[in-house]
Amino acid sequence: MSTGAGPDGVGYAGVRETHSSVVFFVGDRVHKLKKPLDLGFLDNRTREARERICHREVELNRRLAPDVYLGVADVHGPDGQLCEHLVEMVRLPDDRRLAAAVRRGEDVSAVIDEVARQVAALHASSPHGPEIDRCASADFVARLWDLSLDHLGRLEVGADRAGVLARIGESVHRYLAGRTVLFDERIAAGRAVDGHGDLLADDIFCLDDGPRIIDCLEFDDELRYGDAVLDLAFLAMDLERLGAESAARRLLERYSEVSGDHPPSSLVHHYIAYRALVRAKVTALRYEQGDAAARETATGFVELLEGHLDRGRVRMVLVGGVSATGKTTLSREVGAYLGADVLRSDVVRKELVGLEPTDRTGDGTDAGLYAPAHTEATYGELLRRAGSALARGRSVVLDATWLSSGQRDAARKVADGGAVDVIEIECRADKGILLQRMASRAERGDDASDATPAVLERQLRRRDPWPEAVSIDTGVETVDAAWLETTLGPAPW
């Protein structure tokens, strides 16, 4: 960047360069010149193409910052011939960028809240139609990932991490393959929008009369169209990169409050990961153009992307064991850790015949609600509900005895069909502790289980070995954060 006095003596003159533009700062104005380049994802080699993209930039950015985008200036050569076009903008103070405020450690809560409101309003006013909807489909999102992974892989930064990029691609396609229902339902609910497309903290200015959001993606409508969460995920990713993860969480939460949109955490992480890939690609391109420091930055984006894919994994957790081993207590803890749906067989069993969870129907022997046919129906319904949740991007915890290897095989088949990991946990405890828990539960009368000591004896005799499960003795072992992370992987939040 070069600085000095402007021709009118106001402020300083400066020049900044991005991968696609050269930006001139003169006095209280900014002029943006599009580079005559073909970067693969944009082609501005002709003057006509640059003219179109300048007008498009002004039109689109006036949706959020009409007082900043003044218009398009035509540039004529010495011979009077039209030779170039510049986007003309009001100059905004560098030190009021959201990124600068975050780096200074300022409280940006009010700005984040207003940005969430403005973005939600932009999405609410968005047109809808087949072209926008198509860009929010699972197939289209898969293509976005493939194109960006391929582009990054052909750059030096990506070529050095070919194995990492391959694993990322496998993880992404596994998620998308099992979540078509989620993507289709979000499109049907109107969550596909014409958004900003490039929300970054450097392009949000914290002014006294409210934030100004500038510099939306103008060169490819398809890259601006998509799920509303994809739009917001860019800024969430950028805030996290700046060390402001709490601000990123606040942005997502405030947007949900204002918009009424409550996507599963797996989708949020998926889109944050994609946005990190986009930044990795753009930063790696800067490295190719001579910015030596960009290599480390691009690598950091790849690591950020991997972390979000890991946190966004959809999981099925089987929590089993004979009666009174603490399955329900552990299931609640696992569910809270993962933000997962918790489904309990004791409750489902009674719901199937219209009973309340605490209604008593017998002693849990092989008759009535506990006859083999009804038990089979109970597990079938449990897995049906689980499959529905998994298809919608929600992890599930299934609280049941899982005494039969056949029941576990059926659960694994559902997990495989939903393209998710299955984690199996077997609860154990000394028999004396189990009997004490049963007696206490019966005295309270507030639990869905009908199991008795006789049922426990039968379960102990009939249970199949469960070598695939992580075993926990709930009589002596404590479930803490370390155990949860070791057993389940990273929590979503």
| pLDDT given at position 10 | 44
pTM of the model: 0.91
The domain locations on the chain are 3-90, 94-311, 315-488
Q: What is the pLDDT of residues 375-404, one digit of tens each?
A: 999 999 999 999 999 999 999 999 999 999
* Fold observed for domain 3-90: Phosphorylase Kinase; domain 1 (3.30.200)
- Please give the structure tokens belonging to residue 451: 């199991």
Q: Is 192 left (phi over 0), alpha (psi -120 to 50) or beta?
A: beta
pLDDT tens-digit readout, 95-147: 999 999 999 999 999 999 999 999 999 999 999 999 999 999 999 999 999 99
The CA angle 26-32-36, to the nearest 5 degrees, is 135
Does residue 157 register a pLDDT over 50? yes
Class of domain 315-488: alpha beta
pLDDT at residue 6 is higher than 70: no
Q: pLDDT (tens digit, 9 = 90+) per residue, 162-182?
A: 999 999 999 999 999 999 999
Architecture of the CATH domain 94-311:
Alpha-Beta Complex (3.90)
What pLDDT does residue 448 have?
75
| Interatomic CA distance for residues 434 and 439, integer angstroms | 9
